[in-house]
Amino acid sequence: MNKSYQIFSELGKFSKHYENFPVASFLIPNKKRKLIRLIYWFARTADDFADEGNLSPEKRMILLNEFENEFLLSLTSQSKINYLNLLSNEIKLINLDSDLFLKLLSAFKQDVVKSRYVHFDEVLDYCSRSANPIGRLLLQLFGYESNEIFSLSDKICTSLQLINFIQDTKIDISRNRLYYPIDELENFKVSESDLLYLKMNDNIKRLIKFNVDRARNIMNQGKELTKKLKGKFAVEIRWTILGGEEILKKIAKIDYNVVAIRPTISKLDYVKIFIRSLLKL
């Protein structure tokens, strides 16, 4: 096993990652739960290659390219990475869209080479590849294929990604990465240096509040999705939506000071949100 595969075995350990929402909870049938965990393993492993540790951008890109090559190999024969073989077997069995996995990888590769966004449309394009494919894969897994449902799912996933950007402001700044578009920084008279040096002020507060309100509005545009889903899967998605909304509430409670505080959801929050998810949104 070469060094790359040794890194593969160390990274992408699903259980170590914090999430704002349930991932393959007890609501999901066991067989589907295992596949969902494989999908998230794929996404988190690639995300780790792009973000974690002290690797150079060149090494990160090498790992992502190798991971992509192994994934493509697993679709036609056998990869040296067993999890990819397991995932690809399920992709072929259920007829999942393999291109959605490649879109995920394209977003993580972008993280290696791009740290600034000029306009919000660029951020939306990133979300269309970093988050929306996950929602579409889950829908395909449960037999949903309509463009209307995919479109609603994209709204939910984009919103969750935007919420995560706001929540992780401090972490992203530590990586010299900003998902707040440059033209919006200018509109709110926020300097990059104030953000990079974690200097909270009224202009940054207005910028963050604007982003919170926009993420909430996009979420609201997708909520109709839960009415089109059935059974426990609908509850799981409501739970996911409520998790994102809970983070937005916590951001407001800290007066939008995400440059100093990273709000998170506690175990008690999860229980409360689950109870609420049993009711219609």
Taking only the tens place, the pLDDT of each residue in 5-21 is: 444 544 444 445 555 55
**Which among 84, 113, 142 is the end of a domain?**
113
Q: What is the pLDDT of residues 122-165, one digit of tens each?
A: 999 999 999 999 999 999 999 999 999 999 999 999 999 999 99
19 falls within a domain: no
Closest among 1, 24, 2, 52 to 233, alpha carbons compared: 24
Residue 20 contacts residue 219 (beta carbons within 8 Å)? no
What's the total number of domains in the chain?
2
Q: What is the pLDDT of residue 278?
A: 87
Q: Does residue 215 register a pLDDT over 70?
A: yes
Q: What is the pLDDT of residue 14?
A: 43
Mean pLDDT, the chain, rounded, equals 90
Give DSSP secondary structure letters for 139-163: HHHTT---HHHHHHHHHHHHHHHHH
Helix (H), strand (E) at residue 236:
helix 231-253
**Which among 74, 97, 113 is the end of a domain?**
113
Residue 200: HSE in the Cβ half-sphere, 13 Å Cα cutoff: 13
Q: Does residue 231 register a pLDDT over 80?
A: yes
Please check whether residues 227 and 270 belong to one and the same domain. Answer: yes
10 falls within a domain: no
**Which among 63, 89, 113 is the end of a domain?**
113
Query: Which residues form the domain of 276?
Result: 115-281
Residue 14 is classified by DSSP as G
Please check whether residues 192 and 77 belong to one and the same domain. Answer: no
> Cα(125)–Cα(225) distance, rounded to whole angstroms?
21
Q: What is the pLDDT of residues 72-114, one digit of tens each?
A: 999 998 899 999 999 999 999 999 999 999 999 999 999 999 9
Structure tokens belonging to residue 81: 């990475």
Residue 95 is classified by DSSP as T
223 falls within a domain: yes
Residue 210 contacts residue 217 (beta carbons within 8 Å)? no
Please check whether residues 47 and 137 belong to one and the same domain. Answer: no
Q: What is the pLDDT of residue 277?
A: 85
C-alpha 228: how far from chain center: 22
Structure tokens belonging to residue 50: 């792009």
Please check whether residues 78 and 45 belong to one and the same domain. Answer: yes
If one compares 37 and 279, the residue with the highest pLDDT of the two is 37
Please check whether residues 120 and 108 belong to one and the same domain. Answer: no
Q: What is the pLDDT of residue 43?
A: 94
- Stretch 236-246: mean pLDDT, rounded? 93
25 falls within a domain: no
155 falls within a domain: yes
Please check whether residues 183 and 247 belong to one and the same domain. Answer: yes
Please check whether residues 149 and 268 belong to one and the same domain. Answer: yes
Q: What is the pLDDT of residue 21?
A: 55
23 falls within a domain: no
133 falls within a domain: yes
Please check whether residues 179 and 277 belong to one and the same domain. Answer: yes
Please check whether residues 154 and 278 belong to one and the same domain. Answer: yes
Please check whether residues 170 and 59 belong to one and the same domain. Answer: no
Alpha helices in 52-145 (DSSP H): 57-76, 82-94, 99-113, 120-130, 132-141
Please check whether residues 65 and 172 belong to one and the same domain. Answer: no
131 falls within a domain: yes
Please check whether residues 143 and 271 belong to one and the same domain. Answer: yes
- Burial, 252: exposed, middle or buried (Cβ in 10 Å; 0-12, 13-18, 19+)? middle
